[in-house]
Amino acid sequence: MNRFWNYWIIVLTTVNVVAMLWLLYMTARKRPGDQAPGEATTGHTWDGDLSEYNNPLPRWWLWGFYFSIAFAVVYLALYPGLGNFAGRLGWTQESAWATDVRHASRESTARLAHFDSMELDELRENTEAMRTARNLFAANCAACHGTDAHGAKGFPNLTDHDWLHGGTAAAITTTLQQGRQGVMPAWGSILGAEGVEQVANYVLSLSGQTVSATLANAGADKFAQTCAACHGVEGRGNMALGSPNLTDNIWLYGGTVETIKETVAKGRTNRMPAHLALLGPTRIKLLTAYVLNLSQADHTPRPNDHDSTEETHHDAARSGQSSH
Ligand code: HEC
Ligand code: HEC
């Protein structure tokens, strides 16, 4: 608030309070010559005989007014209200909010503390832990991945065994803590419309769909040159880069030739936000256990969940080979 509005508000408020006091005092004061209550009228008469008493305010009513004026003065001294004056208590909306949040988060962290010492496998078996995790998922993840975790276009399904970044406990923990980024470059200007069409047909052929053999054959070479570095020679993807497996007929953006052409021509940029600062390590652990259960209700990892070791990933990334 600049100086003018600051003083404007201070003066207006003070003048109002003082004027109220003066008004009360003037109306409550007995003047010489006042008639007794119940006799005095304002002197106005309507319809010939309808007149108006001029009785003083009842005492209790008057004290109510005095009390509210005193309240206003004390309030304005303690809390913000008079222009830029912060009030003697130093109260702010932000600090009140921050205190509430601190209390709530300390309480819920304390409630979760007994999960700290538990192993992931224990948590996965623990009904209470998984109920808490389900609530955490609903509050923090469902907006993007869906309440049933089946995902949507651009948001991966977490219940299948197809992983962009890896389905091991370690990979999921990293995903949740640090977030992930998926960047598929745009190839439209390099390949041209025809090249994009060919390569898209080849991509579809990888998951056994019927496509034009001529187009797919022409696309195979281009794929080896431009795409294999990230998606692997066989198109099975590379979890170290977050590049999806193109052979399993599971699609992040859609498996029609049109969608694939759009992906290839324009590229895609996708982001899973980091959650460590927001949720803290205990909640991340609970959610990791929950995500593992989503895809392995029976606790048995499938081949795709064990995407192979980190080392082969780095080798694959370097040599442009698929990690499978
Ligand atoms: C703002 C949207 C958003 C929110 C909120 C979000 N995610 Fe994600 N998540 C994504 C996107 C987008 C990706 C895919 C990133 C990519 O394309 O590489 C992803 C990827 C993932 C993956 C990796 C999947 C794979 O195939 O490797 C996991 C696991 C995951 N999210 C779990 C969670 C959990 C648990 C939460 C809640 C704490 C959460 N996400 C919150 C958008 C979100
Ligand atoms: C620099 C690495 C890189 C290169 C090169 C690359 N891609 Fe990708 N591609 C990715 C990543 C990463 C994603 C996932 C994007 C995301 O998470 O949103 C992706 C996604 C895709 C998808 C979407 C899959 C789905 O499930 O919807 C298709 C299709 C695809 N790429 C095809 C290609 C083709 C064809 C080429 C060659 C012309 C190619 N990519 C080259 C990294 C790459």
Task: Render pLDDT for 268-320 as a digit per residue (tens, 0 to 9).
Answer: 999 999 999 999 999 999 999 999 999 887 777 776 776 544 434 444 444 44
CB 13 within 8 A of CB 81: yes
CB-based contacts of 112-116 (< 8 A; 24+ apart in sequence): 112/282, 112/283, 112/286, 113/282, 115/282, 115/285, 115/286, 116/282, 116/285
pLDDT above 90 (res 26):
no
Please tell me which residue, 78 or 300, carries the higher pLDDT value.
78
Residue whose tokens read 């995902």: 151
What is the pLDDT at residue 307? 56
> What is the atom index within ligand 1 of the atom nearest the CA of 167?
27
Q: Average pLDDT, stretch 36-44?
A: 74
Task: Please tell me the distance between residue 143's alpha carbon and the centre of ligand 2 in angstroms.
Answer: 24
End-to-end C-alpha distance for the chain, whole angstroms: 63
pLDDT value for 317: 42
Q: Which numbered ligand comes closest to the C-alpha of 197?
A: 2
Question: What is the tens place of the pLDDT at every residue in 101-141?
Answer: 889 888 888 889 899 999 999 999 999 999 999 999 999 99
Q: Which of 164, 165, 158, 115 is nearest to 285 (CA)?
A: 115
What pLDDT score was predicted for residue 318? Answer: 41
What spacing in Å lies between the alpha carbon of 229 and ligand 2's midpoint? 10
User: Which atom belonging to ligand 1 lies closest to the Cα atom of 140?
Assistant: 37
Burial level of 161, CB count in 10 A (0-12/13-18/19+)? Answer: middle
Global pTM? 0.74
Amino acid 31: pLDDT: 72
35 vs 232: CA distance, rounded Å: 104
Ligand 1 midpoint to CA 44 (Å): 77
> In angstroms, what is the span from residue 184 Cα to ligand 2's centroid?
5
* Joined tokens for residue 116: 């700290």
Q: Which residue has the higher pLDDT, 34 or 41?
A: 41
Averaged confidence pLDDT in the chain: 88
Indicate the range of 16-25, 144-153, 314-323 predicted with least confidence: 314-323
Ligand nearest 181 Cα, by number?
Answer: 1
The pLDDT, as a whole number, for residue 35 is 67
Q: Report the phi/psi class of residue 306: left, alpha or beta, with left for phi > 0 and alpha for psi in -120 to 50.
A: beta
